[in-house]
Amino acid sequence: MLKQHRELSMSIRRTIENNEEAGIRPSKTYQSFVAATGGHRELNFIEKDVKNYITREVRNVSEQEDAKEFGKYLADARSRAAFEYFGDVISFDTTYNTNRYNLVCGSFVGVNHHGQSTLLGCSLMKNEEIESFKWLFQ
């Protein structure tokens, strides 16, 4: 069961995708494959391969839909009110990357009348491509 010898066939992938869409947990999906084949030794993949496939392929959105599906603009009522008062100069910065989901975190920062930075909003984007920024700023 070396990693380079493990693989998911096309029919196995389709079943995993259908089960994920139906809300069936990966462990239950794997157990159904074990029961159908007669044991763990008959499969040429492990439960972790099922989980990795779901994480990598099923839950990810294609790169072309990145700006619309992954770009989220977060601003509450207080931030919107602060923008009305302190929106003269706004800075947008994307220096932070989150590790677990590999999303780019961008912040909209203004300056209040005391010269202090005020967070006006933030965004989560899958990448820093032009289309992502176009969607965000619109």
Q: What was the pLDDT predicted at 52?
A: 87
pTM: 0.45
Q: What was the pLDDT predicted at 77?
A: 73
Q: What was the pLDDT predicted at 24?
A: 92
In this prediction, the residues of the chain whose per-residue pLDDT falls under 70 are 58-76, 96-100
DSSP secondary structure string for all residues of 55-114: IIIISPPPGGGHHHHT-EEE--HHHHHHHHHH-SSEEEEEEEE-TTT--EEEEEEEE-TT
Q: For 70-104, how does the pLDDT look when each residue is reduced to its tens digit (9 = 90+)?
A: 444 545 677 777 777 777 778 888 876 666 677 78
- For residue 106, the cross-strand partners are 123
